[in-house]
């Protein structure tokens, strides 16, 4: 049985959820492992890091991630998971994304770079790289200040496994 993620209302900032973790000093938390395993079964074609020329807030990071999602038609033709990360060496945030898309890295770069700044888009086909990228992105949902989202393509929404999930839960979370 997979561990569940516990979302708690954060009194300090009502817009941001907090994540309840079971900490184990010798290995990753069960929540990170579960999310990493889930992300790993989606055949993401790209692992991306998106930065900006100037420092941006967490809310601005979300707005930019949503614009990237719109550009690649996430939720329709593409599947995208993104998670914000606070910079270690400067103010502000950037975000990482796992992307399953027909867009080439150069198409994404040519759209993103003139608007916001640097981005790195890596081929994610190798199993070892895909697994590492999944766990790397998963860890950011557990930070005390975090933001993230996932958009499923129509192809994934129509998988028979999701139909079973819908029947078992008597509602549809993916529409």
Asked, for residue 50, whether it belongs to a domain, the answer is yes
Q: What is the reported pLDDT for 21?
A: 38
Q: What is the reported pLDDT for 65?
A: 97
Burial 162-171 (b: 16+ CB within 10 A, else e): eeeeeeeeee
Q: What is the reported pLDDT for 66?
A: 97
Asked, for residue 175, whether it belongs to a domain, the answer is no
Asked, for residue 14, whether it belongs to a domain, the answer is yes
Asked, for residue 1, whether it belongs to a domain, the answer is no
Q: What is the reported pLDDT for 32?
A: 81
Asked, for residue 103, whether it belongs to a domain, the answer is yes
Q: What is the DSSP string of 58-106?
A: HHHHHHHHHHHHHHTTBTTTBEEEEEEEE-SSSSSEEEEEEEE-SS-HH
Burial 13-47 (b: 16+ CB within 10 A, else e): eeeebbbeeeeeeeebbebbebbbeebbebebbbb
Asked, for residue 174, whether it belongs to a domain, the answer is no
pTM above 0.85, yes or no: no
170 φ/ψ sector (left φ>0, alpha ψ -120 to 50, else beta)? left
Per-residue confidence of the chain (175 residues) as pLDDT tens digits? 333 333 333 344 444 333 333 333 446 688 888 888 888 888 889 999 999 999 999 999 999 999 999 999 999 999 999 999 998 888 999 999 999 999 999 999 999 999 999 999 999 888 778 788 888 888 888 777 789 999 999 888 877 555 555 555 555 544 4
Count of residues making up the chain: 175
Q: What is the reported pLDDT for 31?
A: 81
Q: State the residue range of the domain holding 27.
A: 6-169
Asked, for residue 149, whether it belongs to a domain, the answer is yes
Residue 4 to residue 2: CA distance in whole angstroms = 6
Q: For the chain, what is the domain count? A: 1
């Amino acid at each position: 049985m997979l561990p569940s993620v516990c979302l708690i209302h954060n009194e300090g900032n009502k817009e941001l959820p907090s994540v309840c973790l079971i900490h184990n000093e010798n290995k990753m938390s069960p929540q990170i492992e579960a999310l990493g395993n889930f992300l790993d079964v989606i055949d993401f074609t790209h692992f991306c890091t998106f930065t900006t020329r100037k420092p941006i807030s967490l809310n601005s990071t979300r707005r930019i991630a949503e614009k990237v999602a719109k550009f690649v038609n996430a939720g329709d033709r593409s599947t995208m998971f993104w998670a914000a990360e606070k910079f270690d060496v400067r103010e502000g945030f950037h975000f990482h994304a796992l992307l399953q898309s027909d867009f080439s890295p150069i198409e994404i770069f040519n759209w993103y770079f003139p608007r916001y700044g640097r981005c790195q888009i890596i081929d994610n086909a190798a199993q070892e790289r895909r697994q590492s990228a999944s766990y790397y992105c998963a860890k950011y949902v557990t930070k005390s200040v975090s933001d993230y989202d996932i958009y499923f393509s129509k192809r994934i929404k129509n998988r028979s496994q999701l139909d079973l999930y819908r029947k078992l839960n008597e509602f549809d979370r993916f529409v």
